[in-house]
Chains A and B, each alone.
Chain A
Amino acid sequence: MVNVTLSPLYRADGSATFTSNGYSVIAAVNGPIEVQRRDELPEEAAIDVAIRPAAGVGGVRERHLESIIQNTLRHVILVSAHPRTLIQITLQIVASQDDSLYPGNLPQAASNVPVLPALLQASILALLSASIPLSMTLTATLISVKENGGVAPSPSAQDLEAATSIHVLAFSSHGDLLVVESEGYFTMDTWEKVYAKARLICHGEKEEDSESEDLSMDTEEVTKLEDILKDAVRQKVAAEYRWKQSPDSAAT
Chain B
Amino acid sequence: MASKTLVLPGETISPDILPTPTNPNLLLKLGPGLRHVPPSTITSTIAGPLCIDQKKNAIWVENNSGRYIPQPNDLIIATVHHSSTDFYSCSITPHTTFPQLPQLAFEGATKKTRPQLNSGSLIYARVLTASKHTDPEIVCYNPSTGKSEGMGELKGGMVFDISLGLARRVLMAKQREDGGIAVLEEIAENVAFEVAVGRNGKVWVKSGGVKETLLVGRALQEADVQGLGVEEQVKLVRKMIRQV
A249 CA / B175 CA spacing, docked (Å): 13
Task: Please provide the chain A residues from 235 to 252 with a CB less than 8 Å away from any CB of chain B in the complex.
Answer: 237, 239-249, 252
Q: Assess the A249–B45 pair: CB atoms within 8 A.
A: no
Q: Decide yes or no whether B48 CB sits under 8 A from chain A.
A: yes
CB < 8 Å neighbour of B10 from A174, A241, A245, A247: A174
Residues in chain A near residue B46, CB distance under 8 A: 128, 131-134
Tell me which of B11, B47, B97 has the highest count of chain A C-beta atoms within 10 A of its own C-beta.
B47
- Select the stretch in A29-37, A97-105, A108-116, A149-157 that faces chain B: A29-37
Q: Assess the A246–B229 pair: CB atoms within 8 A.
A: yes
Chain B residue with the shortest CB-CB distance to A240: B64
Tell me which of A240, A243, A244 has the highest count of chain B C-beta atoms within 10 A of its own C-beta.
A243
Chain A residue with the shortest CB-CB distance to B49: A237
Q: Decide yes or no whether B113 CB sits under 8 A from chain A.
A: no
A127 CA / B45 CA spacing, docked (Å): 11
Q: Assess the A137–B180 pair: CB atoms within 8 A.
A: no
B-side interface mostly: loop
Q: Assess the B45–A133 pair: CB atoms within 8 A.
A: yes
Q: Assess the B6–A246 pair: CB atoms within 8 A.
A: no
Residues in chain A near residue B63, CB distance under 8 A: 131
Known: A30-B95, A241-B49, A241-B227. A7 touches B65 (CB 8 A): yes
Residues in chain A near residue B69, CB distance under 8 A: 32
Residues in chain A near residue B64, CB distance under 8 A: 240
A233 CA / B44 CA spacing, docked (Å): 14
Q: Decide yes or no whether A72 CB sits under 8 A from chain B.
A: no
Q: Assess the B231–A137 pair: CB atoms within 8 A.
A: no
Q: Assess the B132–A81 pair: CB atoms within 8 A.
A: yes
Q: Assess the A137–B9 pair: CB atoms within 8 A.
A: yes
Q: Assess the A33–B96 pair: CB atoms within 8 A.
A: yes
Q: Assess the B8–A233 pair: CB atoms within 8 A.
A: yes
Task: Please provide the chain A residues from 122 to 159 with a CB less than 8 Å away from any CB of chain B in the complex.
Answer: 128-137
**Shortest Cβ distance from B186 into chain A, in angstroms?**
14
**Shortest Cβ distance from B165 into chain A, in angstroms?**
6
Known: A128-B47, A134-B46. A172 touches B231 (CB 8 A): no
Known: A33-B96, A174-B10. A237 touches B48 (CB 8 A): yes
Q: Assess the B10–A249 pair: CB atoms within 8 A.
A: no
Known: A34-B96, A83-B132. A134 touches B9 (CB 8 A): yes
Q: Decide yes or no whether B35 CB sits under 8 A from chain A.
A: yes
**Shortest Cβ distance from B83 into chain A, in angstroms?**
19
Q: Assess the A248–B232 pair: CB atoms within 8 A.
A: yes
**Shortest Cβ distance from B181 into chain A, in angstroms?**
8
Q: Assess the A82–B47 pair: CB atoms within 8 A.
A: no
Q: Decide yes or no whether B219 CB sits under 8 A from chain A.
A: no
Q: Decide yes or no whether B230 CB sits under 8 A from chain A.
A: yes
Q: Assess the B229–A229 pair: CB atoms within 8 A.
A: no
Question: What are some 10 contacts across the A-B interface (CB < 8 A)?
Answer: A81-B132, A129-B65, A134-B9, A135-B9, A136-B9, A240-B65, A241-B227, A242-B228, A244-B180, A248-B230
Pick the 7 closest A-B CB pairs, nearest first.
Answer: A246-B229, A131-B66, A248-B231, A242-B227, A136-B10, A134-B9, A133-B45
Can you add 10 more A-B contacts, CB < 8 Å, to A131-B33, A134-B9, A136-B10?
A: A83-B133, A128-B47, A133-B45, A134-B10, A174-B10, A241-B49, A242-B226, A243-B227, A247-B229, A252-B176
